[in-house]
């Protein structure tokens, strides 16, 4: 499968831009739109992670009461699990940004067909079309039920 690579060095005003089905799929504007969306999402996650670390550092005081200490440890474990999920999400965002660079972003990894703008807008890290994702989930369910 051949994908065009177009440099995204041009400045594009995305303040009022909404991708449309009427335009060429993954044109310069759409790629710039999704890149901006992914970068903003990643920055939000990183900001939240810094806030969590600051909070955990402040909260590290020993609690004399066992119930308070247990509650604090449980909260810390939950926060750390959430941060781990966020770390994995950042790697998916980075992979999506790389796909924008190499021209494969927006195309299903299984079929090569366009994923669809609505799906990408809702889940910018999507790598499968809705149909391929449903097939994948059905196969997963079958193996899980066995």
- Give 13-27 pLDDT, tens digit per residue: 677 899 999 999 999
Superfamily of domain 23-104: DksA, coiled-coil domain (1.20.120.910)
Question: Using 50, 70 and 90 to split pLDDT, how confident is the model at 51?
Answer: confident
Q: Return the higher-pLDDT residue of 33 and 55.
A: 33
Q: Return the higher-pLDDT residue of 141 and 144.
A: 141
Question: Using 50, 70 and 90 to split pLDDT, how confident is the model at 4?
Answer: very low
Q: Do residues 56 and 79 touch, judged by C-beta distance below 8 A? A: yes
Q: Cα separation of 112 and 25, whole Å?
A: 13
Average pLDDT, the chain: 85
- Give 99-115 pLDDT, tens digit per residue: 999 999 999 999 999 99
pLDDT at position 90 is: 96
Q: Return the higher-pLDDT residue of 70 and 90.
A: 90
* Half-sphere CA count of 14, side-chain side, radius 13 A: 15
pLDDT at position 116 is: 94
Beta bridge partners of 100: none
Beta bridge partners of 107: 114
CATH 1.20.120.910 residue ranges of the chain are 23-104
Q: How many other CB atoms sit within 10 Å of the CB of residue 41?
A: 16
């Amino acid at each position: 499968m051949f994908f065009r690579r177009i440099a995204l060095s041009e400045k594009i005003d995305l303040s009022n831009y909404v991708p449309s089905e009427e335009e060429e799929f993954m044109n310069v504007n759409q790629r710039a739109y999704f890149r901006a969306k992914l970068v903003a999402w990643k920055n939000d996650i990183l900001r939240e992670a810094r806030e969590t670390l600051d909070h955990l550092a402040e909260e590290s005081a020993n609690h004399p009461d066992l119930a308070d200490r247990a509650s604090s440890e449980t909260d810390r474990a939950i926060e750390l699990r959430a941060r781990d999920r966020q770390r994995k999400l950042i790697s998916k965002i980075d992979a999506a940004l790389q796909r924008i660079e190499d021209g494969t972003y927006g195309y299903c990894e299984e079929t090569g067909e366009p994923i669809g703008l609505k799906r990408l807008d809702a889940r910018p890290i999507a790598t499968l079309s809705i149909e391929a994702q449903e097939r994948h989930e059905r196969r997963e369910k079958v193996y899980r039920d066995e």
